[in-house]
Every structure is written in C-alpha cells, then in structure tokens.
Amino acid sequence: MKAIQLEQPKQFRRLEVAEAAQPGAGEALLRVHRIGICGTDIAGYLGKMPFFSYPRIPGHELGVEVLAVGAGVTNVQPGDRCSVEPYINCGHCYSCLRGHTNCCETNKTLGVMCDGGMCERIVLPARKLHVSGKLSYEQLALVETLAIGCHAVNRGEPKTTEHVLVIGAGPIGLSVIEFARLSGAKTIVMDMNEQRLAFVREKLRVPDTILTCGDGEELKKLTELTKGQLADVVVDATGHNKSMSQALNYCAFRGRLVYVGITQSEISFLQAPALHRRELDIRASRNALPGDFTRIIELIEDGQIDTKPWITHHAAFDEMIEVFPKWTLPETGVIKAVVEVA
Ligand SMILES: NC(=O)c1ccc[n+]([C@@H]2O[C@H](COP(=O)([O-])OP(=O)(O)OC[C@H]3O[C@@H](n4cnc5c(N)ncnc54)[C@H](O)[C@@H]3O)[C@@H](O)[C@H]2O)c1
Ligand SMILES: [Zn+2]
Ligand SMILES: [Zn+2]
C-alpha cells in the first residue's frame, strides 16, 4: 500500500509499504480517508519540532473507517466512521492510572513519535477510536485539533461571568476560542496578525480582538474591555516565550494562566508584582482526554461547532508532497489543510 514518509526535514518521500496486518486482540484495522495537517506536521517538515524524529510517516488527525476488528473489541464494528485519539498511552504509569492519559509518561503521539496515518490502512488500538454516525471523514479529522482547545479551556475552568483572553489566533488558538465561547465566558482574542484577528471576528463571530505589537497599548485595550479587571483566564497559544512571559500581566487577580503553546525557551516574569500579588495559577495543557473527543463529536453533530470555516485547503494524497511547502506559508491563509486519501 502507499504511504508518505518525512525522511528528513523538508524531504517527503512516496513509499510502498507492507500491507497493514490483520488486527490482533483489542485492535482495529482502519482505512484512512482524511488526514488533517497541523502546526506539528509543519514544524516537523521544517525541522523545528523537538519531539519529532525522522524518518517518520506523519498523520495524527485522522478520519477513518473500520474495516475489521480483533478479538474482544466491542466499541466499534466494521463500517463505523471514527475520529482517532492519537495519543498512544501505556495504561499503567502514574498518570494513566489516575486517568490523565493525555500526559502518559511514555506517551507516543501517532505521526510524531511513532509512525502515523499518512498511508492507506493502519492498525490501531480500538480504544483510541471515537465513532460518529453523522460526521464526514473530514469533520472527523478535525476533532483532534479541536480537542487541544477543549482541554486547554477545561484547564482554565472559566465561569460564565468571567473574561477569557486567548493570545495567538493560529489553529490552536482558534480551537481554544471555540470552547471559550461555548463556556459562556466573555472571550477576547489577541494577536500580532490582523488577518488572523479578522478571521476570528468574521468566521468565529468573536467581536473583541486586540492587535498587539507589545508596546503596552494592548494592556490598555484589555483593561477597557474587562472594565478594569483584566482576564480571569488567559490561554497562551502562541508558542512564543516572550508572549508567554508577558501573559501574566494580562491576568486578573486570582486568575488562571494556561500555556497550551509550547516553547523550548525560558519563560521569565517578576514573581512579586504579577504571580504573588495577584495569586495566579499557571497551568500547562497537553494533548486531550478521551471525553474531549466524545464531547466534540456531539457538539459538531448538534451544530454547536461549525466546521466549515476551518477547512481552508485540500489536496489529494498523490499531490500532497508537491503542495505541502505552500501550506507552511501563513500568507496563503491556511487554517486547516486536509489530505484526501480515499
Ligand atoms: N498543548 C498541546 O498539546 C499542543 C498541541 C498542538 C500544538 N501545540 C502548540 O500550540 C502552539 C500554537 O500552534 P499553532 O499551530 O496555532 O501556531 P501558529 O504559529 O499558527 O499560531 C500562533 C499565533 O500566535 C501569534 N503570535 C505569535 N507571537 C505573538 C505575540 N507575542 N503576541 C500575540 N500573538 C502572537 C501569531 O501571529 C500566530 O497567529 C504551538 O506552540 C504548538 O506547538 C500544543
Ligand atoms: Zn494536530
Ligand atoms: Zn502511561
């Protein structure tokens, strides 16, 4: 069967690989229909993703069809359409035993730390599949991106009376915005890129946006929008350490700051005036939980999340290698590109 491998940064290769095996106990054989491309794939392509190893078959945002199941599988059956929870956890570490499967100590994310779904068929643990009778394969491929935002907002625990500030309106920030809005809290979005803020206002119908260049004007605007209180929950989805350091200054007293973006650089801030005086919580948000996938499928089925604005680019499997470099350029307006396999 055909597959696409990232041999090394900036070098994809079309491969013929061995046909996927028959599913063993607890496993399912799947046909891959749609693959979403996200910042992780782009960073892996550009050689900027620290957790990415090469060569690697990418693909962790998958819309799949069940072809066959192994012994003991009861949650799915042949013909089911599913989204894949791509975090392959061990099931017995300290995190897994307490239900925090998103941060398993030896987690291997498909397509990042082990080979993923950029191929025609794949065998996966059936427990990682989330079925929908209604969603298209393309919508199912979008569920994982949304799950990152869902988990980040859950980490921030916004109340309906509170303000949530989302910093960074890339695909991850947009997924955070969906759930901030659904929480009922007043949502404000900050970015340095006006094109991304316009998308938020027009497509996600969140009117309050702040264009920042980091000169302090953004703090004044946030103060106005929050009637002087600042944001009870700040979610930083930039992945930039300067923004993540600055984010403490946007938090209200007793606020919660969630880092969903990832940086390898140091974050620094003054402890006394920001963290201590305001008694802030700083929380990380990694991956997502099984319940997030179930909830998102229901929200899309009920029409509470509209997936239409999300998917901006498509490519057939056979043309992906050629078009992929364009998807790395923000000026092409890519939010979510989807690869069509079958
Ligand atoms: N927590 C997780 O499990 C998880 C999963 C996937 C991705 N991520 C991380 O989420 C982050 C965001 O991913 P993405 O694909 O949306 O990235 P992206 O680069 O597309 O978006 C980042 C946005 O932040 C904005 N930005 C950058 N610096 C800023 C600043 N100082 N102030 C305001 N805005 C600023 C950019 O203009 C851009 O719109 C990355 O660090 C990525 O690694 C985390
Ligand atoms: Zn992703
Ligand atoms: Zn584990």
Q: Which residues pair with 259 in a beta bridge?
A: 236, 284
Task: Give the CA distances from residue 282 to residues 179, 235, 251, 271, 276, in Å, rounded to whole numbers and listed in that order.
Answer: 19, 10, 10, 12, 11
Residue 89: left (phi > 0), alpha (psi -120 to 50), or beta? beta
Identify which ligand lies nearest to the alpha carbon of 98: 3
311 Cα–ligand 2 center, Å = 13
238 touches ligand 1 (CB under 6 Å): yes
Nearest CA to ligand 1 atom 9: 261
82 touches ligand 1 (CB under 6 Å): no
pLDDT for position 247: 98
pLDDT for position 223: 98
249 Cα–ligand 1 center, Å = 19
pLDDT for position 217: 97
Nearest CA to ligand 1 atom 25: 168
pLDDT for position 258: 99
pLDDT for position 342: 86
pLDDT for position 300: 98
168 touches ligand 1 (CB under 6 Å): yes
Task: Give the CA distances from residue 325 to residues 5, 37, 282, 316, 319, in Å, rounded to whole numbers and listed in that order.
Answer: 15, 12, 36, 15, 12
What's CA 69's distance to the chain center, in Å?
Answer: 28
pLDDT for position 178: 97
Per-residue pLDDT of the chain (342 residues; tens, 9 = 90+): 999 999 999 999 999 999 999 999 999 999 999 999 999 999 999 998 878 889 999 999 999 999 999 999 999 999 999 999 999 999 999 999 999 999 999 999 999 999 999 999 999 999 999 999 999 999 999 999 999 999 999 999 999 999 999 999 999 999 999 999 999 999 999 999 999 999 999 999 999 999 999 899 999 999 999 999 999 999 999 999 999 999 999 999 999 999 999 999 999 999 999 999 999 999 999 999 999 999 999 999 999 999 999 999 999 999 999 999 999 998 888 999 999 998
148 touches ligand 1 (CB under 6 Å): yes
Measure the CA–CA gap between 119 and 132, rounded to whole angstroms.
22
32 touches ligand 1 (CB under 6 Å): no
pLDDT for position 333: 86
Query: Which pTM was predicted?
Result: 0.97
Element (H, E) at 35: strand 27-37
Measure the CA–CA gap between 210 and 295, rounded to whole angstroms.
30
* Helix axis angle, 137-156 to 290-301, nearest 10°: 120
